[in-house]
Amino acid sequence: MLPESFGAGPDLTAPMPATESSVPMVSFSHVSMWFGDRKVLGNVSFTVNRGETLCILGRSGVGKSVALRILMGFLRPQVGSIRVDGEEINGLSEEGMQAIRKRVTMVFQNGALFDSLSVRENVAFPLREKGGLAEDQIQQVVDRLISLVGAQDVVDALPASLSTGRKRAVAIARALAAQPEVVLYDEPTTMVDPIIARRLGDLIQRLKRQLGFTSIVVTHDMRFAERLADQVLFLDQGEARFFGPLKEFLASADPHIRQFLTLDAYLLPSE
């Protein structure tokens, strides 16, 4: 088990208890954003309840990753409300966003690991930044997190020597070290083969089941989404054409959705 002194965040040794609160963990309400004259999101609304996984689907360039960057406060939309556990974050100061980022963390597509640090030191970094743990406790937590993502055999390796899939697994371990409540994944299966994609999907599912994380996964990989999603947000030209349960998305008669599903099935290789 992880040490009891592992901060004041969610207990990483057991699932989070069910909550009676009706307040979504994450909500976008009528969010619109432009880059110059180009609209990248138009009147987008969705909610994610605590412990749910939302998959944001759509072709490249439709605003999927922009939604994650808005939630992290890296981008500010011109219109709309964004709330985390009921707290409005659009317009928060950088200091205020730092507090939000302790609750919401992001696993970037490129892993964003520190090139000069080993796997062990990368995972330990958030723990040292936060403070409050002795070195032996830090190492104990690091060992548990590395074991959780199956990276025990590369603990002393530098990121440059790792495969893309391994980098993403280590990036997930480092994200968990920050003790978040919400984990954002930006295209986790890009540039990995179907076997590694399945392993990453299994890992994200296990984190949800065992630790109760709320997850938002940006992907264009329908098979991956089918393994993970409780809810689906489908973006087309920056607008939300669908938001709802996975089963309803798969059964939708919307021609844009049917075209997306047909093309995805055609392009994806068999496992």
Let me know whether 46 and 85 are in one domain: yes
Contacts of 109 (CB under 8 A, 6+ apart): 65, 186, 187, 188, 190
pLDDT reported for residue 233: 97
Last residue of a domain, one of 142, 164, 179: 179
Would 138 be classed as within a structural domain? yes
Distances (CA, A) of 213 to 28, 103, 114, 147, 261: 19, 11, 25, 18, 28
The yes-or-no verdict on residue 5 having pLDDT over 80 is no
The yes-or-no verdict on residue 58 having pLDDT over 70 is yes
Q: What digits encode the pLDDT tens for the residues 130-179? A: 878 889 899 999 998 888 888 888 899 999 998 888 888 898 888 888 88
Q: What digits encode the pLDDT tens for the residues 86-102? A: 999 998 999 999 999 98
Number of domains in the chain: 2
Would 17 be classed as within a structural domain? no
Last residue of a domain, one of 131, 154, 179: 179
User: To 5 degrees, how large is the angle CA 57–CA 123–CA 118?
Assistant: 110
pLDDT reported for residue 266: 57
Would 6 be classed as within a structural domain? no
The string of DSSP codes covering 46-97 is EEE-TT-EEEEE-STTSSHHHHHHHHTTSS--SEEEEEETTEE-TT--HHHH
Distances (CA, A) of 40 to 33, 156, 158: 6, 41, 36
Structure tokens at 256: 């844009």
Asked if residues 190 and 140 have their Cβ atoms less than 8 Å apart, the reply is no
pLDDT reported for residue 46: 97
Last residue of a domain, one of 179, 195, 226: 179
Closest-CA residue to 47 (of 75, 16, 23): 23
pLDDT reported for residue 120: 94
Question: What span, in angstroms and rounded, lies between the C-alpha atoms of 97 and 21?
Answer: 23
The yes-or-no verdict on residue 201 having pLDDT over 60 is yes
Let me know whether 227 and 211 are in one domain: yes
Structure tokens at 269: 């290789």
Name the residue range of residue 168's domain: 114-179
pLDDT reported for residue 31: 96
Bridge-based pairing of strands 79-84 and 87-88 is antiparallel
39: helix, coil or strand? strand
Q: Across residues 101-108, what is the average pLDDT?
A: 89
Rg (alpha carbons) of the chain, rounded to whole number: 18
pLDDT reported for residue 111: 66
Let me know whether 196 and 97 are in one domain: yes
pLDDT reported for residue 265: 62
Mean pLDDT of the residues in the chain: 85
Q: What digits encode the pLDDT tens for the residues 216-227? A: 999 988 888 998
The yes-or-no verdict on residue 270 having pLDDT over 50 is no
